[in-house]
Amino acid sequence: MVLKEPDCKVRKEKSMTKLNFADKKITFASSMTEFHYFEPDTVNEAISLLKKFKGYIFAGGTFILPSMRRGEIEPRAFINIKKIESLQFEPRMKNGMVIISSLSTLSGLESSDLLHSKCPVLCDASSSIASFQIRNLATLGGNVCGGGMDILPILIVLNATSVMRDERGQRSIPVSKMQDERSLFQNGSKSILLYVSFVPPSKDEIVAFRKIDDALQVGFRSLSLALRLKRFRKRIQKACIVLGMGALYTIRLEDAEHILEGSDGNGQVIISASDAALTTLKQFESTMDWYAVDIVRVILMRTLREVLS
Ligand SMILES: Cc1cc2nc3c(=O)[nH]c(=O)nc-3n(C[C@H](O)[C@H](O)[C@H](O)COP(=O)(O)OP(=O)(O)OC[C@H]3O[C@@H](n4cnc5c(N)ncnc54)[C@H](O)[C@@H]3O)c2cc1C
């Protein structure tokens, strides 16, 4: 096996800048650590490199490079998977399932004809992320495996499956369990996400995505909400509501789901379901920003009103 190792070693250097901001001392630190850089041609090569160098998978680099600059990670190696041909394919249908490669860029998802017809909400969510330049580089894999929080809630409501590969072989796990995998990525990547798959929602189901951005740049963490409602004869049979909290974690709003299920989704039910979201969020209060809890209640109420009216 021939491993390419372009000459890409970065000299070790550290720079620190201290700023006096009002009466608080804020320290910005940026560190550059020497690391190896590889561009394997196959998934197997990438896995051997991961094992040997205990490095990080590098896809678009839009999350991992800023993390390195902020000194949050000190990678020993980057394994750039963008040249792996088997991971380069457009979203497609196979056996009634939508299959999306981990290397699909967010701009590719945004403009995919297949996704526009089978699951337009995924196009909407992709187009809500960052700028066009970033979406051109950023990948689905990077978003799901560590870098973002807008695509994960939708994939969870779609009941999607992640297909991962590591040195032990290939395995499928529900995307809802990716959160546990993401914590592993903090200390280097252990496995590679190959693709995600899901059965497209049927025409009578409602799937919606809403996002609250920090439009005023005041330092608010962004929030995203994905929901899926299945109705039969004007009654909500099944509800799934997932909240994405910045790049931190996802929360399933089960108390709200229980209130909606079996109901006709009238105005009073919507208010009760939105209030019930607060019960779920109580458990997370200590880790959530003070403003976030009430925003979730309002955004859920508005979204339910829009989709059920
Ligand atoms: C200015 C800016 C704004 C942003 N705004 C948003 C936003 O609004 N919403 C949002 O969700 N995100 C946002 N992001 C975060 C992020 O860049 C994107 O979500 C993007 O999708 C990450 O993809 P990437 O390919 O660049 O990941 P990378 O930076 O290459 O990788 C991210 C992480 O995932 C791992 N990884 C990547 N691919 C795989 C794989 N196939 N298998 C296993 N592990 C893998 C890497 O090891 C790394 O830990 C923003 C980033 C920037 C810089």
> How does pLDDT run across 166-179, given as a tens digit for each residue?
999 999 999 998 87
pLDDT higher than 70, residue 42: yes
Query: Is the minimum distance from the CB of 195 to ligand 1 under 6 angstroms?
Result: no
- Whether 3 is covered by a domain: the verdict is no
Pocket flag, ligand 1, residue 146 (CB < 6 Å): yes
Pocket of ligand 1 contains residue 184 by CB under 6 Å = no
Work out which ligand 1 atom sits closest to the CA atom of 150: 11
Q: Verify whether ligand 1 is closer than 6 Å to residue 63 (CB atom).
A: yes
Domain termination site, one of 138, 172, 198: 198
246-261 pLDDT, tens digit each: 656 889 999 999 999 9
Are residues 164 and 191 in contact, defined by beta-carbon separation less than 8 angstroms? yes
Confirm whether 41 is domain-assigned.
Answer: yes
Tell me, yes or no, whether 163 and 104 share the same domain.
yes
In a shared domain, residues 277 and 186: no
Residue 107 in contact with ligand 1 by CB distance below 6 A: no
Q: How far is the CA of 13 from the CAs of 6, 58, 75, in angstroms?
A: 21, 22, 14
What number of residues does the chain have? 309
Q: Could you tell me if the CB of 281 is within 6 A of ligand 1?
A: no
Residue 269 scores a pLDDT above 90: yes
240-244: average pLDDT? 95
Out of 80, 102, 119, pick the residue that ends a domain.
80
Pocket test for ligand 1, best of 64, 162, 211, 243 (most atoms within 8 A of CB): 64
Interface ipTM: 0.98
Q: Is 148 in the pocket of ligand 1 (CB under 6 A)?
A: yes
Domain span at 280 = 205-308
Q: Which long-range contacts (CB under 8 A, 24 or more apart) does 10-19 make?
A: 10/34, 10/35
How far, in Å, from the CA of 58 to the mean position of ligand 1? 9
Whether the predicted pLDDT of 125 surpasses 70: yes
